[in-house]
Structure 1
Amino acid sequence: MVEKAANVLRLMAVDEKAAAAGLYRGMALTDARAQFEKLDTAFAAPRQDNALLEKLADWCDRYTPLVAVDEPHGLILDVTGCLHLHGGEEKLLRDIHASLKRHGICVRSAIAVNPAAARALARYGNGGIAGGGIAGADLKQLLYRLPLTSLEVEHAHLSGLKRAGLLTVGDVDVLPRAALTARFGARTVNRLDALFSRHSEPISPRRIVPICMAERRMAEPLTFMEAIEGVLRELAGELAQELKARVEGAREVEAVFFRADGNIRRLRIETGRPVTDAEILMRLLKERLASLSDPLDAGYGFDIIRLAALRVEKTMARQTSLDNHAEETDKIGTLVDRLSIRLGSKRVLRPVFVDTHIPERAAILEPATLTKVAAAARWNAGDVAGDPPQRPIRMFHPPEPIEATFEIPDAAPAQFVWRKARHIIVLAEGPERIAPEWWRENSRALTRDYYRLEDDAGRRFWVFREGLYERNDPDPKWFVHGIFA
């Protein structure tokens, strides 16, 4: 494989035969052709390689949800707690190799107690299971025999290690740490510590790690939708039981369908409140399946179906009936969930209070499925029982300009013209002064004085003056911001 670098075609990958003949990565193609006239070459396709690697990473989700991309051409799987599902380490490796070989892909893999050791053994060793997956003398000896390139340090440090007569990882590991750090850098020591589990290097999974999940592996792939829905119903029951044991409810659930030919389909549902009932989960899943623009295609059949809770919230146990018959009381929440699945979460909104004094920012609209049930503390407007409201429920956006007439500049208007109608003011309350939020507004924002006005016909308005005469603000203007019903 060749690629263009600095206007020169260079080898970026060689097979075993070419490597045995003395060709290597980074070698100029002209130099390679000078040695061998007949070379089978092809241009590298990094984007297609990355796309294939991402697809393989999705496929590996069938073994564990903890899958990370190990650049440039590898994957790391954390199979802790998953081995018993696949019959142990040997069966897991055999299944991975056999499945990928059927798709025309040959891989080299290793299982070890930490990602760094497994990576080094797979890339620079013979792979396999290191010490039976248990840290011990066998694993240590395997790592000690690895070449220095497995440390993946800078070229200058690698050359320095070779000049010092060091050839393997074992030769370096026995050296004093202080001298090794001073001469060859901290990365060399960190790589050694990672190989031998003295330093932890956790992987970064590509996807959200499920809080809890239920999974079913089929002996024969499922192709009929009735059977698939039956499995989903069982998984919903298992997931609901686990959530109840955790005293939590699901806010985001993902159903993953692994097809026998390697294709994967993911469906997500979000709920407006924590859900622990299997019937509600199943109802939402069926609604999601029915609303798909691209229907679920079983193809050769699904051999694995998984249901996972990606986001949960604590729930409070409550009694809904006098007997064991559960009654669904949150009908509005159920309606919100169904509409969000059918129309999209960004089309079903609910107001959320914001702690601010600026009236038009006191409430915002957010997707109903993303808003926490226990929303942020509502801003207390300071209303006293029995008193008229200080602010109208509905406001104009944006505020509408009016032509106000007043006796003195800083007083409430005596009359104003709005929508070509004149209103004579008989009662006025205020002002309520609201300063701009200087940390958000630009420097031209002005202070507002709000008044509650009542005209001679009994209509009540909420108006404000933007700007203060006492500060010599340029041309203060009047607006009506809302009407008291």
Structure 2
Amino acid sequence: MRPPPQAGEVKQVFPSVVVAKQHNAILIHSLDEAAVRAGLSIGLPLANARAICPELTVYDADEVADRKTLEDIADWCDRFTPLVALDPPYGLYLDITGCAHLFGGERALLQIVSGALGRRGFAVSAAIAPTAICARTLTRHASGKIVADGGEAEAVSPLPVSALGADDAITAGLRRAGLKTIGDVASRGHHEITARFGASFTALLQQALGQGDGPISPRKPLPDYIVEKRFPDPVATDTVIALNLSALAHMLVTAMDKQGKGARKLEASFFRTDGAVRTITVEAGRPVTKPEVIDRLFRERLEALSDPLDPGFGFDLIRLSASRTEIVVQQQRDLDANVHDNDELSALIDRIAARIGGKRVVVHLPEDTHIPESAVQAVAAQHHLAAAAQAAWPERIEGEPPLRPLRLFDKPEPIKVPFATVPDGPPHQFTWRRVTHAVVRVEGPERIAMEWWKQNGDGPTRDYFRIEDEAGLRFWIFRDGLYDGEPAEAEDEAVPPRWFVHGLFA
């Protein structure tokens, strides 16, 4: 063991690298500045690296953790622009068009982002350019540079060809051809470069030179409407947070009202000063056009959170967005009482869904099938309330007993039948849940064949009976399969029919 450094001594920093197995070899995946000064580089085998630098500190690569860290940084960058795209394994694109002035200009924004990430222990290389590829190219050899529109070619021409980030084979081929800088490659004809290295590399080169631009794919879709409030001093009290969220709701409704739209899905994002981001989502069954409704939905949602909103040292940004909107259809509300009833029902469903989740509030719709357990479909009430109001259910015949039980089991439960009338008669008694019931009245059978086109042609046949026992309890039972009157073959014994209870009438 090395002795601890004495007072006044400078602690020695040993080079560190992260290694990963590639092509059956352990290669350097990433490294720090001390390793670069020692002569190491990415892609160098670990054995060679140890020979060059015996004091090397080695860590195994964790791609899952790296991806998670990159996504966390992307969440933090959402405070600067909602258009953030990933550039794996360790890059990000930020589209700052139209929002740099909020932070004092492009230079100030670049310093804010780089400084904040640097204080959190990250080594940051950043640049601003009119095209994404040009900015990425500059980050490799000219960090901190800002390129004006039209100056892309001049900015990247002196850089080595490796800054383009092309395949190693292409980079090596360019160097063998004597093309060491991007300017050297740009001086050749496009057709010549394409014939030698492919059209994709030519497109990459053109985007780096500003002669074309490729779209970036934001990790989150851009909301239809977005409003936000930035705070010079972080806010942490519930009252101040609620007041600012209410003010944002008024701003959002005003913006949507200009185009006659209402919000169906709303998201409130809270950005903490330590970089953590919390997003709360609520949905509505009908387009929301009133700020007080938005306030109520978020209040219900925040109060029902199992993990309460923790401001930590405070929020420096609160953002409210409408990620899904619809055109508001004006209705006559003065004379139609049903409209008011539907509004109240929809508001009630929205409040309950905000507390317990939209998937837990359901309505039932009829299905066009004769299979009992498939005749009803449970769907989210917020999205199918209008369909449920117009659903046509089979009408009961007056004076006749119900054909279907009041309580239908999700899964039929097996019963024991010691003997029954064959070939298609009812049982004389059965045992269900350890209780034996003697049958005194029977109605049936009602034969229901399964949907053979969904059962690979081997669907069973059910005979349903409405029966009543000596205690007056009424059951809906069925026999799964048919009795076979012919003796079974010894090597292919027939499986006897099974009996189930499927529901209760009372």
Q: TM-score range by the shorter chain?
A: 0.7 to 0.9
Question: Within 1, Cα distance between the matches of 2:250 and 2:157?
Answer: 50
Cα distance in 2 for partners of 1:79, 1:67 equals 9
For the pair 1:339 / 2:352, whether they are aligned, the reply is: yes
Task: Give the match for residue 135 of structure 2.
Answer: 118
2: distance between equivalents of 1:452 and 1:422?
10
The alpha carbon displacement at 1:246 in A equals 4.5
Please name the residue that 1:148 is paired with.
Answer: 161
Query: Which deviates more from structure 2 when the two are superposed, residues 23-32 or residues 220-229?
Result: 23-32
* Aligned residue among 290, 297, 302 for 2:315: 302
Residue from 94, 99, 114 that aligns with 2:111: 94
Aligned partner of 1:446: which letter? P
Q: Is residue 77 from structure 1 mapped to residue 94 from structure 2 by the alignment?
A: yes
How far 1:71 sits from its partner (Å)?
1.9
In 2, Cα distance between equivalents of 1:465 and 1:186? 68
Instruction: Could you tell me which runs of 5 or more consecutive residues in structure 2 were left unpaired when the two chains were aligned.
Output: 1-15, 431-435, 487-493
Letter in structure 2 aligned against 1:438: W
Contact 2:225 2:322 in 1 (8 A): yes
Counterpart AA for 2:313: Y
Q: What CA distance in whole angstroms lies between the structure 2 residues aligned with 1:75 and 1:297?
A: 27
1:43 to 56, 59, 64: 59
The aligned residue for residue 268 of structure 1 is 281
User: Does the 8 Å CA contact 1:253/1:311 hold for their aligned counterparts?
Assistant: yes
Matched-pair contact (CA < 8 Å) for 2:263–2:289: yes
Moved more, 459-468 or 188-197: 459-468
Shift of 1:256: 1.3
Please name the residue that 1:159 is paired with: 172
| CA gap 1:57/1:5 in 2 versus in 1, 3 angstroms | closer
Does residue 56 (structure 1) correspond to residue 69 (structure 2)? The answer is no
Query: Which amino acid letter does the alignment assign opposite residue 250 of structure 2?
Result: G
Residue matched to 1:68: 85
**1:436 and 2:437 equivalent?**
no
Q: Equivalent residue of 1:297, what SS?
A: coil
Q: What is the letter of the counterpart of residue 72 of structure 1?
A: P
Of 270, 273, 283, 2:296 maps to 283
How far apart are residue 17 of structure 1 and its match? 6.5
Does the CA-based 8 Å contact 2:439-2:467 persist in structure 1? no
The one of 446, 455, 478 equivalent to 2:460 is 446
Return the alpha-carbon distance in structure 1 between the equivalents of residues 36 and 441 of structure 2. 95
- Matched residue of 1:203: which SS? coil
Cα distance change of structure 1 residues 435 and 193 upon mapping to structure 2, 3 Å threshold: farther
Q: 1:385 to 1:236 in 2, by over 3 A?
A: farther
One-letter code aligned to 1:311? R
Contact 1:256 1:264 in 2 (8 A): yes
Seen in structure 2, the aligned counterparts of structure 1 residues 111 and 405 have a Cα distance that, compared at 3 Å, is same
CA apart distance, 1:214: 1.4
1:318 is paired with a residue whose SS is coil
1:235 corresponds to = 248
Selected match of 1:25 from 3, 27, 42: 42
Task: Check conservation: 1:2, 1:10, Cα contact below 8 A.
Answer: no
Contact 2:110 2:144 (8 Å CA) reproduced: no
SS in 1 for 2:241: helix
Q: Write the deviation string for residues 51-77 of structure 1: whole angstroms up to 9, x where unpaired.
A: 443332111110112222222222111
Structure 1 unmatched ranges of 5 or more: none
| TM-superposed deviation, 1:279 | 0.9
| 1:171 lines up with 2:171 in the alignment | no
Letter in 2 for 1:24: S
Q: CA RMSD in A?
A: 4.3
Distance 1:297 1:450, change over 3 A: closer
Q: Is the 8 A contact 2:364 2:379 kept in 1?
A: yes
1:217 aligns with 2:230: yes
Distance 1:63 1:423, change over 3 A: same
> Could you give the per-residue CA deviations for residues 216-246 of structure 1, whole angstroms, max 9, x where no partner exists?
1123222332121110101112222334444
Matches for 1:365-404 after TM superposition, within 5 Å: 365-369=378-382, 371-375=383-387, 391=404, 394-399=407-412
* Count of residue pairs brought into register by the alignment: 470
Letter in 2 for 1:85: L
Distance change (3 Å), C-alpha of 1:20 and 1:299: closer
% identity of equivalent residues: 41
* Distance (Å, rounded) in 1 between the aligned partners of 2:362 and 2:393: 23
Q: Secondary structure at the match of 1:130?
A: coil
Q: Normalized against structure 1, the TM-score is what?
A: 0.78
> Contact 1:250 / 1:312 at 8 angstroms: preserved in 2?
yes
| Contact 1:64 1:78 (8 Å CA) reproduced | yes
- Per the alignment, in what secondary structure is the counterpart of residue 96 of structure 1? helix
SS at match of 2:228: strand
Distance change >3 Å, CA 453–CA 25, structure 1 → 2: closer
The amino acid across from 2:314 in the alignment is G
**Cα deviation code 1:262-307 (max 9, x no counterpart):** 3322222233444332112111212222233443333332221111
Distance 1:245 1:387, change over 3 A: farther
Whole-Å separation in 1 of the counterparts to 2:385 and 2:188: 58
The match for 2:146 is 129
Give the conservation status (yes or no) of the 8 Å contact 1:354–1:376.
no
| Distance across 2 between alignment mates of 1:145 and 1:86 | 31
Paired position in structure 1 for 2:17: 2
Structure 1 match to 2:218? 205
- The offset of 1:188, in angstroms, is 1.7
Q: Relative to structure 1, is the Cα distance of residues 104 and 433 closer, same or farther in structure 2, using a 3 angstrom cutoff?
A: closer
Contact 1:273–1:373, Cα closer than 8 Å, also in 2: no
Paired residue type of 2:96: V
In terms of mean alpha carbon deviation, does 351-360 or 108-117 score higher?
A: 351-360
Distance 2:20 2:111 in 1: 38
Q: Give the 3-state SS of the residue equivalent to 2:453 in structure 1.
A: coil
Residues 20, 26 of structure 2: 8 Å contact kept: yes
Query: How many Å separate the matches in 2 of 1:213 and 1:53?
Result: 24
**Aligned mates of 2:188, 2:450 — CA distance in 1:** 67
Shift of 1:452: 7.9
User: How much does 1:196 deviate?
Assistant: 5.0
Deviates more, 1:143-152 or 1:279-288: 143-152
User: In the alignment, is the contact (CA less than 8 A) between 1:353 and 1:378 conserved in 2?
Assistant: no
Q: Give the 3-state SS of the residue equivalent to 2:166 in structure 1.
A: coil
How many Å apart are 1:379 and its aligned residue?
Answer: 7.8
Describe the SS at the equivalent of 1:364: strand
**Per the alignment, in what secondary structure is the counterpart of residue 420 of structure 1?**
strand
Q: Take 2:467 and 2:66, find their aligned partners in 1: how far apart are those partners?
A: 70
